[in-house]
Chain A
Amino acid sequence: MLKEFKILKLLLPFLIPYIILYSIYIQLNGEVSPGGGFQAGVIFATGLIAYDLVFGKSKLHKHISINALVICGALGVILYAGTGVISLIHDENYLNYSAISHDAIHGQHIGIFLIELGVGLTVASIMCLIYSLLREE
């Protein structure tokens, strides 16, 4: 649908790196600024989908297969759940990040970073998956 617009086609390769950079910025600064794993994942998926929407011909599908997306989504949940298991090993409650490191606050920081990474991975891959399933074959 958007294939005929030449200005979009010229502008988008210039814009997509900044969209993806912004999503990485939100992912890494989740505990300082607004946003977090979910928002970062959605913006990352938006960058990839914009590429697919303008250039068409299921180019996204060629580079990233559906199996890879499903595996990435499952990996995110496993990363999240695994972070909780670390604190179980250290005789603490499930998802109590204070047990991860010797310093309780340092452990909290590591735990929050890891689970935000898991959420971002899952959301980005599932959004791409839903888009590529519903697109015109």
Chain B
Amino acid sequence: MQEFFEPPFKLSFQMDEILLGIAAIVMVITCLRLIVSKSLTESIIVMSVFSLFIGICYLFMDAPDAAMTETALGACLSTCVLLNLVKIVGEEGETPKKSKIIFASILCIIFIAALSWASFDLVPFGAEDSPLQTHLTQYYLENTRTDIAIPSVVAAILASYRGFDTLGETTVILIAGLAVLVILSRKKQPNEGSDA
């Protein structure tokens, strides 16, 4: 049990927390850069950088699965799709009115304040005795080795203990793809009809 789930090594003098702080500061700077970006292409690239730094944060928080997903999906794949969309939509968007900008920024500030206020009630990061970790997590950690016998507990939970959930997720991805196909092909048909 011990050799199975012990992390291979741990940095001394809490290097990971310092790096996490640096990554968080870079994310805030990236957000500020996003506000002043002028063209659509620029904002897409900045959003991609933001995703990359969230992935790095996940890595420092010992969640390599989430980091891999965030980097592949958020930083790489959605950037490619959005860059292709820019070619269709055009580089310059409409500039919104000033009153709209002020209203939107007030909403954003209220939202940030509410979320920050709510975050004081969160359990501390990595707390072992929080209600979240004491019931099911305990069971998974103790029984994965005897029931399933694979080293990755995350894969064991996703694929075996929670097989139904993953089946639902896979079906949702298929349905989402088919929905995009249906919407875009319906849009195209009347255009082709008017051309001919």
Contacts and interface: CB of A to CB of B under 8 A. Distances in A.
Interface of A: 1, 26, 30-36, 38-39, 42-43, 45-46, 49-50, 53, 66, 70, 73-74, 76-77, 80-81, 84, 94-95, 97, 105, 108-109, 111-112, 115-116, 118-119, 122-123, 125-127, 129-131, 133-136
Given A39-B68, A95-B167, A136-B84, A31 B152 contact: yes
A129 B68 contact: no
Contacts of B148: 105, 108-109, 112
B158 interface: yes
A107 B13 CA distance: 44
Given A1-B87, A26-B68, 10 more contacts: A1-B86, A32-B150, A32-B152, A36-B154, A70-B178, A73-B178, A84-B167, A95-B164, A108-B148, A136-B88
Contacts, number: 142
A130 B81 CA distance: 8
Nearest to B185: A133
B128 to A, nearest CB: 22
A39 B80 contact: no
Contacts of A109: 148-150
Interface string B63-90: 0110011001100110011011111100
B177 interface: yes
Interface string B121-151: 0000000000000000000000000011111
Contact of A115 (B65, B73, B76, B166): B166
Interface string B157-182: 01110011011001101101110110
B83 A53 contact: yes
A130 B180 contact: yes
The SS class assigned to the B binding surface is: helix
Given A42-B73, A131-B84, A133-B180, A77 B174 contact: yes
Given A112-B159, A115-B159, A36 B65 contact: yes
- Looking at chain B, what size class is its interface with the partner chain? 35 or more
Contacts of A94: 164
A34 B65 contact: yes
B167 A81 contact: yes
B102 interface: no
B181 A134 contact: no
Contacts of A118: 170
A46 B76 contact: yes
Contact of B173 (A70, A112, A122): A122
A109 to B, nearest CB: 7
A111 B161 CA distance: 12
A112 B69 contact: no
Contacts of B170: 76-77, 80, 118-119, 122-123
Interface in B50-68: 64-65, 68
A69 to B, nearest CB: 8
Contacts of A1: 83, 86-87
Contacts of B88: 134, 136
11 contacts: A32-B152, A36-B65, A42-B77, A49-B80, A94-B164, A105-B147, A111-B159, A118-B170, A119-B170, A134-B85, A135-B84
